[in-house]
């Protein structure tokens, strides 16, 4: 509902500055009408559609101006203001001053003043002639229509009756990743991928019976193997004589809508994890099976490899998917609070415990609890967790009675629990309880084959969220991205691309859009690594001195230092913190 000041004379001022100008930038015709059916303002797009100039329209009766456009069949100005019903959208055909047919879509909405009194209406006119003409007239020889199609941000492709692609516009190239030359002449089945039998059937049905199939939400497969959600429409393609010569498909990338749905529901699927490397394919195959069980799972991997996401995928694919998924970061809470947070407490358990408080295990009952950074769990709590795994029961803090729950446990760590057991930092019996099924996520540098597809996948998602239209990544940038070691793994890759997207004001990401540390990163030769390792050998120096000397040698560049010391950057940070080397 549009609202304006009470003074009727301000209708033109308020709307022309706000709504009329906005619609003008969108090439949409708009005009305002007061309670006396007098036109109070009109933009240039509407003047072009109607074929009259502003001085011939302002203060004229809208019924005279809109001759041939049934704007007042159900005039909203004649309705009770309490109805607040917008006039229904209406597709109409009118003729311009050259006696040419124009296909208009018209709708109107009431305008109210600050006292909620009906003050007029805003009428919007949109020219649908180009789209209507394309659907009715497009065929292979019409080069001008192909040019129009190439300017649309909607994907459009056509096929002949044999199902081979005959046209592929620029938006299709961007969405699918195929160049036009690669797509033309190709069977459409190869474009849709293996999960789109219903979409193919709809396209073939449209070709066979000439009827359109609209607003189909389906999936298509990109050149890199990504499965993307799309909204598709399928129509028969006819020549000038009305003979069906093939089909036309228009589609929109619904990546952003998919992200919103995922964020709202917090449900993830295997499509949210990307990887062609054999190590990742093996994980996908195994996880698809164990997700259906209630077995305890231990996920190991470096920081940023996607342990959190994999846990959510497992839960969303399990029979517990409609039950809670509760995450506990064992490293984020102080030891004295962790027990009450995990297992809850009863009234009077300690000073300030004025009422019973359920813990995370209570909240996860019948669902899944994800214990992240399990390697940081204090030894005192490890025994209590062992009982939960064995008997599915525990004592809330301060209680004499046990609480019983039914939860599936997924644990994750970036520290090797095997070595922690040897160092007596982690209970051996708990390790074997957690280690029913262990999944080790590879670091990004160990699956470089996935980098091209990951770069495009992350960039597509970021563009969908930010609304940016980045068409490509320059070759030098891609070389840098493919040769970097990513100590922060996938999370660092996401940060790098987000940084580039913020800086980039063009359509192509260039080296100057990347973070400085990545641009200035120079490859460390094998000989240099051997020299530095020899120079700072632990046998000659203590750990602090080794790290300090390596940092000085590399101008305190942590990435290069971690390489020459053969440790990941997260481990280097921990050791620097341990030895008070952080500035």
| Neighbouring residues of 392: CB distance < 8 A, sequence distance ≥ 6 | 404, 405, 406, 407
The DSSP result for 118-133, as a single string, is EEEEEEEEEE-HHHHH
Residue 43 in this model has a pLDDT that exceeds 50: yes
Neighbouring CB atoms inside 10 A of 464's CB total 18
Residue 104, classed as helix, strand or coil, is: strand
Determine the pLDDT at residue 5.
41
**Selection from 3-12, 33-42, 105-114, 234-243 with the highest mean pLDDT:** 33-42
What is the 3-state secondary structure of 223-287? CCCCEEEEEEEEEEEECCCCCEEEEEEEEEECHHHHHHHHHHHCCCCHHHCCCCCHHHHHHHHHH
| Neighbouring residues of 541: CB distance < 8 A, sequence distance ≥ 6 | 549
Residue 194, classed as helix, strand or coil, is: coil
Query: How confident is the model over 218-228, as pLDDT tens digits?
Result: 777 777 666 77
Q: 49: pLDDT confidence band, cut at 50, 70 and 90?
A: confident
Query: How confident is the model over 236-271, as pLDDT tens digits?
Result: 887 767 778 888 888 877 765 555 555 444 455 555
Q: 496: pLDDT confidence band, cut at 50, 70 and 90?
A: very high
Determine the pLDDT at residue 365.
92
DSSP code for 470: -
Decide if 315 contacts 412 (C-beta within 8 A): no
Query: Average of pLDDT values for 202-221?
Result: 77
Determine the pLDDT at residue 431.
93
Neighbouring CB atoms inside 10 A of 33's CB total 28
Query: Average of pLDDT values for 150-154?
Result: 68
Residue 179 in this model has a pLDDT that exceeds 60: yes
Determine the pLDDT at residue 69.
53
Query: Average of pLDDT values for 513-518?
Result: 86
Determine the pLDDT at residue 528.
46
Determine the pLDDT at residue 54.
83
Residue 10 in this model has a pLDDT that exceeds 50: no
**Selection from 60-74, 130-144, 439-453, 462-476 with the highest mean pLDDT:** 439-453
Residue 123 in this model has a pLDDT that exceeds 50: yes
Q: 279: pLDDT confidence band, cut at 50, 70 and 90?
A: confident
Classify residue 45 as exposed, middle or buried by CB count within 10 Å of its CB (0-12, 13-18, 19+). buried
Residue 416 in this model has a pLDDT that exceeds 80: yes
Residue 272 in this model has a pLDDT that exceeds 70: no
Query: How confident is the model over 323-332, as pLDDT tens digits?
Result: 999 999 988 8
Q: 210: pLDDT confidence band, cut at 50, 70 and 90?
A: confident
**Selection from 222-236, 288-302, 554-568 with the highest mean pLDDT:** 288-302
Residue 533 in this model has a pLDDT that exceeds 70: no
Determine the pLDDT at residue 48.
76
Q: 103: pLDDT confidence band, cut at 50, 70 and 90?
A: low
Residue 274 in this model has a pLDDT that exceeds 80: no
Higher pLDDT, 224 or 46: 46
**Selection from 25-34, 121-130, 482-491 with the highest mean pLDDT:** 482-491
Residue 144 in this model has a pLDDT that exceeds 80: no
Nearest to 74 by CA among 84, 64, 87, 62: 87
Query: Average of pLDDT values for 361-389?
Result: 91
Determine the pLDDT at residue 258.
57
Query: How confident is the model over 392-411, as pLDDT tens digits?
Result: 898 888 888 888 999 999 99
Which of the residue ranges 129-143, 380-394, 496-510 would you say has the lowest mean pLDDT? 129-143
Determine the pLDDT at residue 87.
47
Query: Average of pLDDT values for 489-507?
Result: 90
Which of the residue ranges 5-19, 121-135, 217-231, 553-567 would you say has the lowest mean pLDDT? 5-19
| Structure-token match 């062992």, residue found | 386
**For the chain, what percent of residues have pLDDT higher than 90?**
13
Determine the pLDDT at residue 85.
44
Q: 4: pLDDT confidence band, cut at 50, 70 and 90?
A: very low
Nearest to 156 by CA among 144, 142, 143, 173: 173
Query: Average of pLDDT values for 6-10?
Result: 43
Determine the pLDDT at residue 557.
79
Categorise residue 184: left if φ over 0, alpha if ψ from -120 to 50, beta otherwise: beta
Query: Average of pLDDT values for 505-529?
Result: 73
353/54 Cα distance (integer angstroms):
73
Residue 566, classed as helix, strand or coil, is: coil
Residue 160 in this model has a pLDDT that exceeds 90: no
Query: Average of pLDDT values for 176-191?
Result: 78
Determine the pLDDT at residue 524.
47
Determine the pLDDT at residue 361.
92
């Amino acid at each position: 509902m549009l609202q304006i000041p009470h003074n009727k004379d301000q209708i033109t001022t308020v709307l022309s500055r706000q709504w009329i100008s906005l619609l003008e930038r969108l090439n949409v015709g708009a005009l305002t009408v007061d309670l006396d059916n007098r036109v109070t303002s009109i933009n240039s797009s509407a003047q072009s559609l109607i074929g009259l100039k502003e001085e011939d329209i302002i203060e004229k009766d809208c019924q005279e101006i809109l001759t041939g456009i049934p704007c007042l069949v159900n005039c909203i100005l004649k309705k009770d203001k309490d109805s607040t019903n917008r006039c229904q959208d209406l597709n109409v055909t009118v003729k311009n001053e050259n006696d040419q047919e124009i296909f208009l879509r018209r709708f109107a909405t009431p305008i109210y003043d600050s006292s909620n009194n009906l003050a007029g209406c805003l009428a919007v006119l949109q020219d649908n002639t180009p789209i209507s003409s394309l659907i009715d007239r497009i065929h292979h020889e019409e080069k001008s229509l192909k040019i129009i199609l190439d300017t649309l941000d909607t994907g459009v492709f056509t096929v002949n009756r044999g199902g081979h692609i005959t046209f592929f516009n620029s938006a299709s190239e961007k969405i699918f990743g195929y160049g036009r030359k690669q797509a033309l002449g190709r069977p459409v089945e190869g474009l849709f991928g293996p999960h789109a039998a219903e979409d193919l059937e709809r396209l073939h049905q449209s070709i066979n019976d000439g009827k359109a199939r609209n607003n189909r939400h389906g999936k298509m497969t990109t050149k890199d193997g990504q499965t993307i959600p799309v909204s598709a429409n399928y129509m028969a393609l006819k020549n000038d004589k009305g003979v069906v010569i093939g089909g036309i498909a228009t589609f929109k990338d619904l990546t952003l809508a998919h992200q919103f749905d995922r964020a709202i529901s917090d449900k993830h699927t295997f499509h949210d994890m990307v990887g062609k490397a054999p190590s990742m394919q093996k994980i996908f195959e195994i996880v698809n099976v164990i997700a259906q069980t209630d077995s305890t799972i231990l996920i190991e991997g470096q920081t940023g490899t996607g342990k959190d996401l994999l846990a959510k995928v497992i839960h969303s694919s399990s029979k517990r998917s409609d039950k809670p998924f509760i995450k506990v970061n064992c490293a984020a809470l102080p030891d004295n609070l962790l027990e009450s947070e995990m297992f809850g407490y009863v009234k009077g358990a300690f000073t300030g415990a004025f009422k019973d408080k359920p813990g995370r295990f209570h909240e996860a009952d019948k669902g899944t609890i994800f214990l992240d950074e399990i390697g940081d769990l204090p030894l005192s709590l490890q025994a209590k967790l062992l009982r939960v795994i064995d008997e599915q029961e525990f004592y809330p803090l301060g209680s004499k009675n046990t609480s019983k729950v039914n939860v599936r446990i997924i644990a994750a760590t970036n520290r090797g629990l095997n070595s922690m057991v040897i160092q007596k930092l982690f209970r051996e019996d708990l390790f074997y309880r957690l280690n029913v099924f262990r999944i080790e996520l590879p670091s990004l540098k160990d699956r470089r084959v996935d980098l091209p597809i990951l770069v495009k996948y992350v960039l597509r998602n970021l563009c969908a969220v930010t609304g940016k239209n980045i068409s490509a990544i320059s070759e030098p940038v891609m070389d840098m991205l493919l040769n970097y070691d990513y100590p922060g793994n996938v999370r660092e890759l996401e940060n790098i691309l987000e940084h580039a997207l913020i800086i980039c004001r063009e359509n192509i990401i260039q080296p100057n859009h990347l973070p400085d540390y990545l641009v200035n990163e120079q490859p460390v030769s094998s000989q240099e690594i051997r020299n530095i390792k020899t120079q700072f050998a632990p046998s000659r120096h203590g750990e602090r001195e080794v790290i300090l000397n390596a940092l000085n040698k590399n101008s305190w560049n942590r990435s290069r230092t971690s390489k020459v010391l053969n440790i990941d950057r997260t481990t280097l940070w921990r050791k620097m913190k341990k030895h008070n080397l952080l500035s």
